[in-house]
Amino acid sequence: MGGSVKWQLVIEPEIATEYAGTRLSDYFGNPNIMVETEVKARREFHRIFGYGSPELESIGVNPYNYTVACILGAKMIIPEDASPQIEGRVIGQLKDIGKLKVPEDIGSAGYVPEIIRNYEYLKGRSEINGITPVFALHNQSPLGTATILRGTEIFADVFEEPGAVKDLLEIITETALRVIRFQEKYTGRQLDRIDMDDDYGGLFSPELYEELNLPYMKRIYYIHEARQRGIHTETLAEGHLRFLRRIGITHYDAWPYHGLTAKTVRTTLPEVDFSWNIETAKDLYADTPAEIRKKYREAVQEGAPRMVLNLCARGVPRENIRAFIDVAKEFE
């Protein structure tokens, strides 16, 4: 393969707190500790691995992907030292769908007020510390949000009560559209890229995905003519990839689950810029440094234009992180 291959480490809050010596509950609950943690983690990764700049220039103030779900009633809990989780189900019975309402005032719904408070606070601090806060309200795909609200019952609902599921998807989609409009009004800037998390989508067959996710995703992506449309998903199989072309995805954060390979993505979606996550969470621990270097070289040979090591769990062997960085430098 000719040319350089871009690469990066994604340092999730679990890892940032590990290297900074802070707790996740404090990270998510206190904007000062969030900034302190990100600053320390960045400096530690620069000191230990020689990775990136030691200085933090910006920080996202919304580390959650449950904006629409929580607006519609999902309860998010933050354990003492673990990632945020959704507790229970909002829709215990399908008749509860009729109780859901799309809120008029997104700014006072769900955890949006908390995000606004943290953003305004950190914006006020930015002149002192030089760190710019970034305001964004992240979302799951419509079918992903439906899965969060309904729980595992939705896997039967899509066959037994598809009409009710579509009613739910309508409410979710309209809420997502209002979230985007609110963000644009609040920031005074129209989004030129719309991103979506779709980790639940691949749990449904391609046929169900086409019927129950694709049309609703398209409405969100095309709320206006955003030039870029990104998707993160760890669950899509080869049979789902054609839908990414149909909705005009411009960047795909791809993962090696369900037998998916970089070669398959490159062949199926030759026009799409994609990042290839070299390791699953399990492989981060199980693989040796030699195996990581081998996987990296194979993915590059298969046409991956960008390589990612997503550090999403604590205790990853440092030699594995070093192996990724070392082999990445071979292709710069």
pLDDT in tens, 275-286: 999 988 888 899
What letter does residue 93 receive in the DSSP assignment? S
Asked whether the beta carbons of 25 and 81 are under 8 A apart, the reply is: yes
Mean pLDDT of the chain: 95
- The residue extents of the domains of the chain are 1-54+278-332, 57-273
Count H helices, E strands: the chain? Answer: 15, 10
Per-residue model confidence as pLDDT tens digits over 29-52: 999 999 999 999 999 999 999 999
Per-residue model confidence as pLDDT tens digits over 120-143: 999 999 999 999 999 999 889 999
Per-residue model confidence as pLDDT tens digits over 168-206: 999 999 999 999 999 999 999 999 999 999 999 999 999
Distance (Å, rounded) from C-alpha 306 to C-alpha 7? Answer: 5
pLDDT tier for residue 1 given thresholds of 50, 70 and 90: very low
CATH code reported for the domain at 57-273: 3.20.20.210
Q: Tell whether the model's pLDDT for residue 156 goes beyond 70.
A: yes
Residue entry with tokens 């081998």: 294
For residue 66, report the phi and psi dihedrals to the nearest 5 degrees: -115, 30
Work out the average pLDDT over 78-96: 91
Closest C-alpha among 311, 315, 320 to residue 9: 311
pLDDT tier for residue 225 given thresholds of 50, 70 and 90: confident
Tokens encoding 136: 């964004």
User: Quick one: how far is CA 200 from the chain centroid?
Assistant: 12
pLDDT tier for residue 3 given thresholds of 50, 70 and 90: low
Beta bridge partners of 194: 229
Give the pLDDT confidence score for residue 227 in this predicted structure: 84
Q: Tell whether the model's pLDDT for residue 163 goes beyond 80.
A: yes
**What contacts 24+ positions apart, CB below 8 Å, involve 72-77?**
72/100, 72/110, 72/145, 72/149, 72/171, 72/172, 72/175, 73/100, 73/149, 74/148, 74/149, 76/111
Give the pLDDT confidence score for residue 280 in this predicted structure: 85
Give the pLDDT confidence score for residue 282 in this predicted structure: 85
